[in-house]
Amino acid sequence: MSDFLLEKGNQPGWGKVLKSVGAPVPTKLKRLKGPWVKQVLAGKKVAYGSASGGINPAVFNSVFNDLGNSSVGSTIPDGEKGGALVFDGTGITTVAQLKSMYEFFHTNSIRRLAPCAKIIIVADVVPKSIEGSPEAYYELCTVQQGIEGFSRSLSKEVGGKGVNVNLIRLSNAKEATDKALLPYIHFLLSEGCAFVTGQVFEINVSTAPQQIAPLEKALSGKTAIVTGSARGIGEATARKLAAEGATVVVLDRPQDSEAGKAVAASINGKFLGVDMGSDEAPVLIADFIKKELNGGLDIIVHNAGITRDKTLANMDANQWDMVININLNAIIKTNKELLKQGLIKENGRIIGLSSTSGFSGNFGQTNYSTTKAGVIGYVRSISQTTTDKKITVNAIAPGFIETQMTAKMPAMTQFFARRLSNLNQGGQPTDIGDMITFLASPGASGMSGQIIRVCGGNFIGA
């Protein structure tokens, strides 16, 4: 079922009628329709601000110039509509300095933002130990955590216009270079970030790119496997990876081989028929990599998953076991086999699919929510063991995404699920594919052990 308010509300006649009765009319999001484009700021009005003592402004000026805009000011000019706002809050160490953030965004208010504009706030990673006097440490932790609350609230205030607000946290922020920041700012200011808002991207500056990362055809020469990719989110992800130059293996059940082979053929990829619920799956995947991918894989995306929804009282053991086996055990066993055999290359990427239900739980989904929360714990822990080969491990937690599965939900359930997001609508499979493609790229080397929610800032679990 389509979103009536989104479709009709963006038509001139219907839009007026719906707004006159107080209906929440979503802004149609601008999504990335092709491969990455480097100069995402070309032709846009951009404002940049900072607190004193932050990152050298020359670093940001270099980034803006690389992204196609060399005339960034401190405010959006009167009568103009802003395409992007960037604020550096790394210099904020006292409560009084928080006012600088208020002043920047108050001046460049929502009234000066174009629909689907982008906002980035940069902050320090909140330190876990005392540095300097205890009082200064307490205040630093207080204000840097406060910045996160500010960014999440702002994302709710501007979401009605389709505007995204995201926070970048930097370890060793004072050492951040334009090369380290460029890939993250590029993605968060691009149309690939249409449904990602109210999120925190924690970047380890020491492992972030030290050279200029490719921002076009970023995955050229890379090989990727996407499980469960004959349709839905998996298919969208396979297409996005291929658009950036990767050779993609479409992996799905043998009974879905016709659809899977069609997707593979359309992106010049390969098809592998494997049931991820079988005990043989990890070995079959490993053998395929050795025979068909010259013994090495750059990217694996664990997308395959199922639901068997029942309340716990009515759930039989088979419904529990099937979901646990495919959604969680298959990921753990496959990664173990590939890592043991050294089949994931240095600088490789492991990306899992969690869910907002892994944070919040869902009625009738104790099995599913257990697996999606399990993916979170697994990613955070295994990421600490893959640093020697510079392999990053991250997960995506989708919210309400318009798929065949959600289309089967009752109409009112769909309606309220869409309205729960800051952006007042559901996401598309391509939104997940865009986020996965970024995490798979060389520019994302500074992120590992993280779970990014692609949920439009959904109130539940956000």
| Residue 214 resides in a domain | no
Instruction: Answer whether residue 361 shows pLDDT above 80.
Output: yes
- Residue 21's pLDDT is 67
What average pLDDT score do residues 210-229 get?
Answer: 96
Q: Which helix (H) or strand (E) holds 278?
A: none
| 95-135 residue pLDDT tens | 999 999 999 999 988 889 999 999 999 999 987 777 778 88
25 and 37 both lie in a single domain: no
| Last-in-domain residue among 174, 204, 234 | 204
- Residue 403's pLDDT is 80
What average pLDDT score do residues 348-373 get?
Answer: 93
| 27-61 residue pLDDT tens | 999 999 999 999 999 999 999 999 999 999 999 99
d(CA 148, CA 170): 13
What average pLDDT score do residues 425-429 get?
Answer: 93
Q: Which one has a higher pLDDT value, 122 or 8?
A: 122
Query: Is 368 noted as a catalytic residue in this protein?
Result: yes
174 and 295 both lie in a single domain: no
Half-sphere exposure of 177 (CA within 13 A, CB side): 11
- Residue 8's pLDDT is 66
Q: Phi/psi at 102 (nearest 5 deg)? A: -55, -45
| 197-211 residue pLDDT tens | 999 999 999 999 888
- Residue 170's pLDDT is 96
130 and 191 both lie in a single domain: yes
CATH at residue 36: 3.40.50.720
| Residue 163 resides in a domain | yes
> How many whole angstroms from its chain centre is CA 48?
23
| Residue 460 resides in a domain | no
167 and 246 both lie in a single domain: no
Instruction: Answer whether residue 1 shows pLDDT above 80.
Output: no
- Residue 103's pLDDT is 96
What average pLDDT score do residues 172-192 get?
Answer: 95
- Residue 247's pLDDT is 98
| Residue 142 resides in a domain | yes
End-to-end CA distance of the chain: 25
What average pLDDT score do residues 60-74 get?
Answer: 94
- Residue 172's pLDDT is 86
- Residue 48's pLDDT is 97
**Which letter does DSSP use for residue 401 in this model?**
B
Half-sphere exposure of 46 (CA within 13 A, CB side): 25
| Residue 53 resides in a domain | yes
Domain that holds residue 57: 31-204
| 156-180 residue pLDDT tens | 999 999 999 999 999 988 899 999 9
- What average pLDDT does the chain have? 93
197 and 297 both lie in a single domain: no
266 and 414 both lie in a single domain: yes
Residues of the chain with pLDDT > 90, as a percent, come to 79
What average pLDDT score do residues 347-357 get?
Answer: 96
- Residue 281's pLDDT is 97
Residue 217 — very low, low, confident or very high, per pLDDT cuts 50/70/90? very high
Residue 415 — very low, low, confident or very high, per pLDDT cuts 50/70/90? confident
Going by C-alpha positions, the residue among 168, 151, 144 that lies closest to residue 94 is 144
Instruction: Answer whether residue 460 shows pLDDT above 70.
Output: no
243 and 380 both lie in a single domain: yes
| Residue 218 resides in a domain | no
Question: Counting Cβ atoms within 10 Å, is residue 433 exposed (0-12), middle (13-18) or buried (19+)?
Answer: buried
Instruction: Answer whether residue 389 shows pLDDT above 80.
Output: yes
| 262-321 residue pLDDT tens | 999 999 999 999 999 999 999 999 999 999 999 899 999 999 998 898 999 999 999 999
Instruction: Answer whether residue 12 shows pLDDT above 90.
Output: no
What average pLDDT score do residues 368-382 get?
Answer: 97
Torsion of CA 408, 413, 419, 420, to 10 degrees: -110
Going by C-alpha positions, the residue among 92, 69, 91, 98 that lies closest to residue 82 is 69
64 and 161 both lie in a single domain: yes
Instruction: Count Cβ atoms below 10 Å from residue 115 Cβ, excluding itself.
Output: 13
Instruction: Answer whether residue 239 shows pLDDT above 80.
Output: yes
What average pLDDT score do residues 366-377 get?
Answer: 96
72 and 5 both lie in a single domain: no
What average pLDDT score do residues 383-411 get?
Answer: 89
Going by C-alpha positions, the residue among 340, 10, 57, 354 that lies closest to residue 178 is 57
276 and 392 both lie in a single domain: yes
Q: Which of 48, 184, 368, 378 is catalytic?
A: 368
CA distances for 229 relative to 34, 163, 263, 440, angstroms: 19, 30, 8, 16
295 and 400 both lie in a single domain: yes
> How would DSSP label each residue in 60-111?
HHHHHHHTT----BSSPPTT--EEEEEEE-TT--STTTHHHHHHHHHHT-GG
115 and 199 both lie in a single domain: yes
Q: Is the dihedral of CA 93, 94, 97, 99 positive or negative?
A: positive
Q: Number of structural domains, the chain?
A: 3
Instruction: Answer whether residue 461 shows pLDDT above 70.
Output: no
- Residue 17's pLDDT is 67
| Residue 348 resides in a domain | yes
d(CA 82, CA 107): 12
| Residue 411 resides in a domain | yes
